[in-house]
Amino acid sequence: MFQRILVAVDPSPARHSVIRLAGDMARLTGAKVRVLHIAPSTATMAAVVSLEDDSEAKAILDEAVAGLRDAGVGADGTVVGALTTQIATTISSAAAEWQADLLILSPHHRGSLEALVHPRVSDAVAHSSRIAVLLAPEDGSGDQR
């Protein structure tokens, strides 16, 4: 079944349910997990501006990896920088590069107009991915178990 699971996390509270689901899947299948956090930046006319500082990005990654390891799952992780317009392709490329056979991320719910103007990363990844993509529902509890 699944042997290599890539988990993409962002700063939203939904990351907790994504990590729990990844841990459950990994324990069920004996898979290894790699956590990916993308530190986003945006391009202006004069410069590229980071939208998250390095310490914030590292804290998000470390929390996710520690949560998986505490749950008995073999996990590692990496932070990658990318422009906001390249987040979906960066996730897909990381999955292919690591030879993941499952990708888990969270959808961010938006109204239809907002989704038209700013497409969801999860939609773009699911439509372009060559591997199984699992969207973890946000449980809303904020519980980090």
pLDDT of residue 118: 55
Q: Find out whether 46 and 18 touch, Cβ atoms under 8 Å.
A: no
Q: Is residue 78 part of a domain?
A: yes
Q: Is residue 142 part of a domain?
A: no
pLDDT of residue 130: 81
HSE of 88 in the Cβ direction (CA atoms, 13 Å)? 15
Q: Is residue 76 part of a domain?
A: yes
Note the pTM of the prediction, 2 decimals.
0.84
pLDDT digits (tens), the chain, 145 positions: 899 999 999 998 989 999 999 999 999 999 999 999 999 999 888 899 899 999 999 999 999 999 999 999 999 999 999 998 888 899 999 999 999 999 999 886 545 555 445 567 777 777 777 889 998 887 755 444 4
Q: Is residue 140 part of a domain?
A: no
Q: Are strands 4-9 and 75-83 parallel, antiparallel or unpaired?
A: unpaired
User: The CATH number of the domain where 34 resides is what?
Assistant: 3.40.50.620
pLDDT of residue 112: 52
Which range marks the domain in which residue 82 is found? 4-135
Q: Which of 67, 6, 68 is nearest to 37 (CA)?
A: 6
pLDDT of residue 120: 72
Tokens of 35: 């956590």
Q: Which of 83, 118, 100 is nearest to 36 (CA)?
A: 100
pLDDT of residue 145: 45
CA 39, chain centre distance (Å): 11
Q: Is residue 141 part of a domain?
A: no
Q: How many domains does the chain have?
A: 1
pLDDT of residue 137: 83
Which residue type does 122 have? S
Q: Is residue 96 part of a domain?
A: yes
pLDDT of residue 119: 60
- The DSSP H or E segment spanning 16 is helix 15-29
